[in-house]
């Protein structure tokens, strides 16, 4: 009954809900959204009123979408939209705890990152609920960064983020940490501000506390991609309120979010360091030369929540580049950017791919991209959670 009610509510919503974007022409057969893109590229509106869309995955022609349900525990869902997102959405799984990360396996199953665990299920089974198996349990459920983000590696391993509980290791009462002691969060099991690795041969379900850290000192990595040689690249969200620890520092300009080239066992400095080897004001005497530097400083407070390495040729200007979705509400957020790679080194800085997402009355409200997915034809789907929409970056 719960499944039927959810399905009825989902299908009925578009008939009564107010449109989110005002179209102007078409983009590859879809209503064209009035956003700023490079010449020869446009954004089309695929679907609206999709709950609170986060992760995206593709199996065959079916697009699967994780509905975070505005972070309401027990109300999250997985939706299926056939025909590469054009078909009406159908609920395939409900009752989830804040689902965020989503990935499809080669055999047609889905991994879902809920708060506290990662599950696997068969979305095409007659009863998908009955096929759920727990892959990882005991992931963090408390604090500021408890949404589960992960990436499925080419060898079948899962690389999983364990986000920081705090902003920069302040106490629950907001007091600054002891500069002479290690941050207690980094001593938890699993350590906060780290990446974990679940090997393909590990017995499931696995306890997160038993997984060895793959990398540490990473405040809140929500976006991942693999370089051509298999090196993991992660984009991590920098801290807020740096001026509360040192009034000489600008909270608008600092710190930058960071792009990291992940080395197994590497420590990237959080919470002791920020930007490129600068000691955090809470730890002014820390020697940041002992920590790995970021591959690139990204825009401050951009909040990268998604990243792909674009392999297609339809959008030729993007081929081979990293594409990042910036979710942040501040000036340098709410846009999609491209970063070129020379081997493993990012070059040339950020180049806007989709911008102009600030509120425009009668055109569109402010938008926050939350997930990216490259389709077989070389177009890119964009989940945008502020307006509950699915968009597509394509050619006219």
Segment 99-146, tens digit of pLDDT: 999 999 999 999 999 999 999 999 999 999 999 999 999 999 999 999
Task: Residue count of the chain, please give it.
Answer: 396
Whether omega before 179 lies within 30 degrees of 0, making that bond cis, reads no
pLDDT(11) > 60: no
User: Across the beta sheet with 232-236, what order do the strands follow?
Assistant: 221-226, 232-236, 256-261, 296-300
**CA geometry: angle at 197 spanning 191 and 200, to 5°?**
150
pTM, entire model: 0.94
pLDDT(15) > 60: no
Does 177 reside within a domain?
Answer: no
Does 269 reside within a domain?
Answer: yes
Tokens of 131: 């096929």
Q: Mean pLDDT lowest for which of 8-17, 195-204, 220-229?
A: 8-17
Is the four-CA dihedral 318, 324, 327, 332 of positive or negative sign?
A: negative
3-state class percentages of the chain: helix first, strand second, coil last, to nearest 5: 10, 40, 50
Per-residue pLDDT reduced to its tens digit, 140-172: 999 999 999 999 999 999 999 999 999 999 998
The residues facing 225 across adjacent strands are: 233
pLDDT of residue 18: 67
Mean pLDDT calculated for residue range 262-277: 98
pLDDT(2) > 80: no
Q: Tell me, what DSSP letter sits at residue 316? A: G
pLDDT(395) > 50: yes
Per-residue pLDDT reduced to its tens digit, 188-207: 999 999 999 999 999 999 99
Tokens of 189: 């099991």
Instruction: Determine the Cα–Cα distance for residues 66 and 56; give it in Å rounded to an integer.
Output: 7
Mean pLDDT calculated for residue range 235-251: 96
Per-residue pLDDT reduced to its tens digit, 270-311: 999 999 999 999 999 999 999 999 999 999 999 999 999 999
The residues facing 74 across adjacent strands are: none
pLDDT of residue 1: 36
Mean pLDDT of the chain: 94
8 Å CB contact between 195 and 234: yes
pLDDT(16) > 60: no
Tokens of 199: 């090997």
- The H or E element spanning position 16 is helix 2-16
Does 37 reside within a domain?
Answer: yes
pLDDT of residue 363: 86
Under the banding of pLDDT at 50, 70 and 90, the label for residue 325 is: very high
pLDDT of residue 362: 86
Under the banding of pLDDT at 50, 70 and 90, the label for residue 6 is: very low
8 Å CB contact between 100 and 113: yes
DSSP secondary structure string, 22-61? ---SEETTEEBP--B--TT-EEEEEE---SSEEEEEEETT
Query: What is the CATH classification number for the domain harbouring 378?
Result: 2.120.10.30
Computed over its alpha carbons, how large is the radius of gyration of the chain? Answer: 20
Instruction: Determine the Cα–Cα distance for residues 169 and 293; give it in Å rounded to an integer.
Output: 20
The residues facing 31 across adjacent strands are: 26
Domain range for 44 is 2-171+182-394
Find all residues with CB under 8 Å of 87, minimum gap 6, and list them. 81
pLDDT of residue 365: 85
Tokens of 241: 């309120």
pLDDT of residue 206: 97
What percent of the chain stands above pLDDT 90?
A: 89
CA atoms within 13 A on the CB side of 36: 10
Instruction: Determine the Cα–Cα distance for residues 289 and 283; give it in Å rounded to an integer.
Output: 14
DSSP secondary structure string, 345-375? EEEEEEEEEEB--S-BTTTB----EEEEEE-
pLDDT of residue 356: 95
User: How many domains are there within the chain?
Assistant: 1
Instruction: Determine the Cα–Cα distance for residues 153 and 61; give it in Å rounded to an integer.
Output: 22
CA distances from 102 to 58, 291, 394 (A): 10, 31, 23
Distance of CA 264 to the CA centre of its chain: 21
CA atoms within 13 A on the CB side of 220: 25
pLDDT(9) > 80: no
Per-residue pLDDT reduced to its tens digit, 51-85: 999 999 999 999 999 999 988 899 999 999 999 99
* Strand pairing category for 158-162 and 194-198: antiparallel
């Amino acid at each position: 009954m719960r499944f039927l009610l959810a399905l009825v509510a989902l299908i009925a919503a578009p008939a009564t809900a107010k449109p989110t974007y005002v179209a102007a022409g078409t983009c590859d057969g879809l209503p064209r959204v009035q956003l700023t893109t490079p010449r020869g590229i446009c954004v089309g509106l695929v679907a609206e009123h999709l709950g609170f869309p986060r992760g995206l995955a593709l199996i065959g022609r079916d697009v699967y979408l994780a509905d975070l349900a505005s972070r309401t525990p027990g109300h999250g869902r997985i939706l299926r939209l056939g025909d590469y997102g054009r078909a009406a959405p159908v609920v395939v799984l409900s009752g989830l705890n804040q689902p965020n990360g989503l990935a499809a396996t080669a055999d047609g199953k889905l991994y879902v990152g809920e708060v506290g665990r990662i599950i696997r299920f068969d979305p095409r089974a007659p009863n998908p609920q009955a096929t759920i198996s727990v892959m990882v349990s005991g992931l963090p459920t408390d604090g500021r960064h408890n949404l589960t983000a992960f990436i499925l590696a080419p060898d079948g391993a899962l690389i999983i983020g364990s986000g920081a509980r705090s902003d920069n290791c302040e106490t629950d009462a907001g007091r600054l940490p002891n500069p002479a002691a290690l941050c207690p969060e980094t001593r938890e099991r699993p350590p906060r501000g780290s990446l974990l690795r679940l090997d393909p041969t590990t017995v499931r379900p696995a306890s997160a506390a038993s997984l060895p850290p793959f990398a540490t000192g990473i405040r809140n990595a929500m976006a991942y991609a693999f370089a051509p040689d298999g090196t993991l690249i992660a984009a991590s969200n920098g801290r807020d309120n740096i001026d509360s620890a040192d009034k000489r520092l600008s909270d608008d300009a600092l710190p930058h979010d960071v792009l990291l080239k992940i080395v197994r066992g590497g420590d990237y400095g959080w919470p002791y360091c920020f930007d490129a080897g600068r000691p955090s004001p809470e730890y002014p005497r820390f020697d940041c030369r002992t920590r790995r530097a970021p591959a690139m400083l990204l825009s401050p407070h951009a909040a990268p929540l998604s990243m792909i390495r674009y392999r297609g040729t339809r959008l030729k200007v993007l081929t081979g580049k990293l594409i990042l979705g910036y979710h942040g509400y501040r000036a340098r957020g709410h846009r999609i950017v491209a970063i070129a790679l020379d081997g493993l080194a990012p070059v040339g800085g950020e180049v806007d791919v989709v911008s102009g997402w600030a509120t425009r009355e009668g055109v569109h409200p402010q938008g926050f991209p939350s997930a990216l997915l490259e389709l077989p034809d070389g177009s890119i789907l964009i989940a945008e959670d502020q307006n509950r929409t699915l968009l597509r970056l394509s050619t006219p």
